[in-house]
Amino acid sequence: MKILIIGGVAGGASAAARARRLNEDATIIMFERGPYVSFANCGLPYHIGGDIKDRENLILQSPESFLARFNVDVRVNNEVLSIDRQSKAVTVSHLTTGETYQESYDYLILSPGASPVVPPIPGIANPLTFSLRNIPDMDNIIQVIGNKNVKHATVVGGGFIGLEMMEAFHQLGINTTLVEMAHQVMTPIDKEMAAFAHQEIRQHGIDLRLGVALSSAHHDVEEKRLVLTLNNGETLNTELLIMAIGVRPENHLAKSAGLTIGKLGGIQTNKHMQTNDPSIFAVGDAVEVEDFVIKSPTLVPLAGPANRQGRMAADNIMGRSEQYQGTQGTAICKIFDLAVASTGKNEKQLLEQALPYEKVYVHGASHASYYPGAQTVSFKLLFNKSSGKIYGAQAVGKKGVDKRIDIIAVAQRAGMTVDQLQHLELTYAPPYGSAKDIINQAAFVATNIIKGT
């Protein structure tokens, strides 16, 4: 059996390791067009900001370690140009030598990921504008910061990467402007919950500009800076620009091979992560998955789902019958001293789907309030009043946020109702929790609403 994997990082690397564990004799070749095959892309902003000191800690596996540990032939700086489904072969370009060659396969796994969205803004192609997807991107940003003694940076986009880059620049003592076209940062949460984040950002001296977009950029070579024009007519001088407005699935290889692309632009797969070609599987940020809550197609570019999908694709190639059970979009982001997290659907999405819902808010202590160090956790729970179904939850605070959202993520996947949340028996000691946890309290309030109390 010969398995080719296009793309490493989370999905592809997980598929390679799992395939080897299930079959010692298969030939496994993994292609990566960049110089690094398995790296912690979620950690890139934290190395720029100095939290992760050693760059080598971001590199999880090398071609040599993959070969030594898993007997996987990893070919970095090799880009797959096309897929010939009839002959079951791919055409590959070795980017270092310029050589082009073909490689046959029995099974093919696509894990090309997603690429940063950079709209056609006039002047955006300049040497002071970057996106952050991989280690070379990170290295280039660090080099500019060091060489040009950057005093001011601008980040466009208030998602995870944008917020993490904003904090990294702040830690480096660089004055920072954050520009977000929406009226809030972190669109997975609702606006009133995002207000906590806005307050935290502004308290740290960040120039936060909401509801505005970048219209153009002019590179002032003499002054070694960019002059940015916003759609409200304002201008902004900056020395470094990060575009972090989102990502889109890399689907061109799949599309040119005649594989089905979904309405959202992701590669379409069945529950086994199999494309419309039974010999080709697809995983990670490039695929459309089923939303766990409302069962419709969605795009969720997160490392956890990508890892699970890669493992599952390898399982199914090896004759098992594993089914992907949907994505909740459970996520958390550090914003200075604040943690902001969510799972499932938010209120905006429920309104778009015309789903009837109720919501409750609880503002409780992260652990027993009389024990030193307790911090407020603001918690929002969304549910169906008739059935008690949990639609989603959001939480903001300095401590204990991850714990509460993780609990709801598990409860939601287990099919629990808000009534059943009342009976969760969670750990309690004054340094760690409360006798009535925030989860229990939210369930009490929700049940009161359901019963008309």
User: From CA 102, how far away is CA 372, in angstroms rounded?
Assistant: 64
The catalytic position among 40, 42, 172, 294 is 42
| Whether the Cβ atoms of residue 365 and residue 383 lie closer than 8 Å to each other | no
Among candidate residues 110, 64, 93, 89, the one with its CA nearest the CA of residue 317: 110
Q: Pull the structure tokens for residue 120.
A: 């056609």
Please state whether beta strands 240-243 and 129-130 pair in parallel, antiparallel, or not at all (unpaired).
Answer: parallel
Name the residue with tokens 């308290």. 203
Between CA 196 and CA 184 the distance in angstroms is: 10
Contact between residue 292 and residue 412 where contact means Cβ atoms under 8 Å apart = yes
- Return the SS3 of 94: strand
Sign of the alpha-carbon dihedral angle for 295, 300, 305, 310: positive
Please give the Cα distance from 109 to 30 (Å, whole number): 9
Catalytic site residue 333?
Answer: no
Do 389 and 381 contact (CB within 8 A), yes or no?
no
- Those residues whose C-beta lies under 8 Å from the C-beta of residue 132, and which sit 6 or more positions away, are 44, 45, 116, 138, 141, 161, 165, 242, 244
CA–CA distances in Å: residue 114 to residues 58, 266, 275, 299, 363: 19, 9, 17, 10, 37
DSSP 332-378: EEEETTEEEEEEE--HHHHHHTT---EEEEEEEESS-TTSTT--EEE
Q: Which residues contact 105 (CB under 8 A, 6 or more apart)?
A: 2, 3, 4, 88, 89, 90, 279
130 close to 169: Cβ distance less than 8 angstroms:
no
Greatest CA span in the chain, whole angstroms?
73
- Asked whether the CA dihedral 349, 355, 358, 364 is positive or negative, the reply is negative
Token couple for 139: 């290295």
Catalytic residue IDs: 42
